[in-house]
Structure 1
Amino acid sequence: MFRSVFSGVALLAVAAACNAAQAQTVTTPEQLLTEFSRCDAHFFESLRDARLPADTLRLSQYGSVKAPTIMNPLQEGGTYQRFEKPLIVNGVPMIGYYNQAQTMNDVGNFLFWGFVADGLPQEVAEKLKPLIVDNARFVSEGNAIARAEIRRVGDPIGQWRTEGLTGPGVATPFGFVDRVFMVDKGDATPPLTGHTTVFCSLQGTVTAPLLQVYRPDLNARLFD
């Protein structure tokens, strides 16, 4: 058992190192959105040396990476940062960033992180689509536009499946994790109400090893 755990940790370290090596130096908001759309560590790694317009998003150091400053992803009222000036991405004004985490009994763990934009979801999605990684799979799902994939716990850490997807409105089965990049209408409560959200999510059996690789800005034991 201990040998298996050690081997798994070693593989995670290799995967994290590979992600760091592939991160690009970001000099434009458009490049940042592309890195963000991967829904993995690239976004946080790219922010370490990013050169972005002044007075937009505020960054903090989280271990070896940077991320937009948030008080606490688990604390209501502490999950949102409003930008002093909008970050304009391919004509889309991004006015803030949010980072939320929660656990629901019998359903799993949920992480949502991303930007708050001005504009209607379809209009925002159309302007951003050329910047999105694997955008051939970025398609309408009801009122939202999304690119989804799924993995089973125990799959290789970098493997995501594009078949057998859970689908919108359906709980992720135990032992699986859904990863979604989505543009959607904001929640009915402030600060997201009246805006469009451009976000990533991990939901289901989100484990500490997965967080360690895909969300290096968070404590891997966030849900313990």
Structure 2
Amino acid sequence: MNLLTRTALLASSLLAPIALASNAALEDTFRAFSHCDDQFFASLHTHSAAWERHVPLESAKNVSWIPVGSRAYVEADSVPLRHAPQVAGVKLLSYFDKSVDLDLLGNYLFWGFVVEGSPEKVAQQLRPLIDRGEQLVPAQGLLARAEVRKDGHWERVASPPGDAPGKSRLERVLILEPDEGSHGTRTRVTCTLQGAVDGAVMAEFRPDIPAEDYPGQPIPAP
């Protein structure tokens, strides 16, 4: 064995534990993400060193988040992830974060990852990491875990309600669906808060969003 080979093997042996630790951190954060609440942003903060290898982060107090250009504009609501990080063998390609105010139909927040693979394959690989993964069921051409907020608690519903929640109902849904234009080769893994999303809801579940971006505030240009 020549010197170059020995050096390469030594470097590999030293880097392996670092890579394993990084993968464990990413998977821990994905578990937190699958709750579709503030746990994701706390985990990004805890594991910021692992995530900053792949995407820029911003932080405040005890939370971190992945900034996008603008939640209100499609052209600026996503960022690519460097070095193709993987969780449970699934490649994460980009992160998106968007908001839509549909007036009487309610406010909508969408955040999550575009990943490599079909929804069915991705669900099979990620299900062990997904909170209440057994509740992820086929619905209207996608896979979803749907909940409605009642009396301060989340209650599971069999599938996402077919009507718009409006201003009186708060829904939370984890969705796996084909990424537009990917012909089944990419999947969007999305958390949504929709309907009666007001400042109190955003402060509890989306601590990364500043008060000036709460519903009813003017939308800044990208």
Question: Same fold judged by TM-score > 0.5?
Answer: yes
Write the letter of the residue equivalent to 1:170: D
Aligned match for 2:131, one of 130, 133, 147:
133
| Match of residue 161, structure 1, among 152, 155, 163 | 155
> Normalized against structure 1, the TM-score is what?
0.78
Q: How far off is 1:164 after superposition?
A: 7.9
| Distance across 2 between alignment mates of 1:114 and 1:54 | 17
- The yes-or-no answer on 1:181 pairing with 2:174 is yes
CA gap 1:109/1:53 in 2 versus in 1, 3 angstroms: closer
State the AA in 2 paired with 1:89: V
Work out the percentage of aligned pairs sharing the same amino acid.
28
Give, in whole Å, the separation in 2 of the partners of 1:85 and 1:213.
32
**Distance in 1 between residues matched to 2:113 and 2:121, nearest whole Å:** 15
Equivalent position to 1:48, from 45, 49, 58: 45
Give the gaps of 5 or more residues in structure 2. 1-22, 217-222
Is contact 2:104–2:166 with CA below 8 Å preserved after alignment? no
Residues 74, 101 of structure 1: 8 Å contact kept: yes
1:30 paired to 2:22: no
Q: Distance in 2 between matches of 1:56 and 1:92?
A: 15
Matched length: 192
Structure 1 residue runs without a partner (length 5+) = 1-25
Q: What CA RMSD, in Å, does the superposition of the two structures yield over aligned residues?
A: 2.4
Query: Whole-Å Cα distance in 2 between the matches of residues 172 and 53 of structure 1?
Result: 34
Q: Which residue of 2 aligns with 1:15?
A: none
Conserved 8 A contact 1:53-1:87? no
CA contact (8 A) 2:26 2:50 kept: yes
Distance 1:27 1:166 in 2: 32
Aligned match of 1:66: 64
| Aligned with residue 210 of structure 2, among 190, 199, 219 | 219
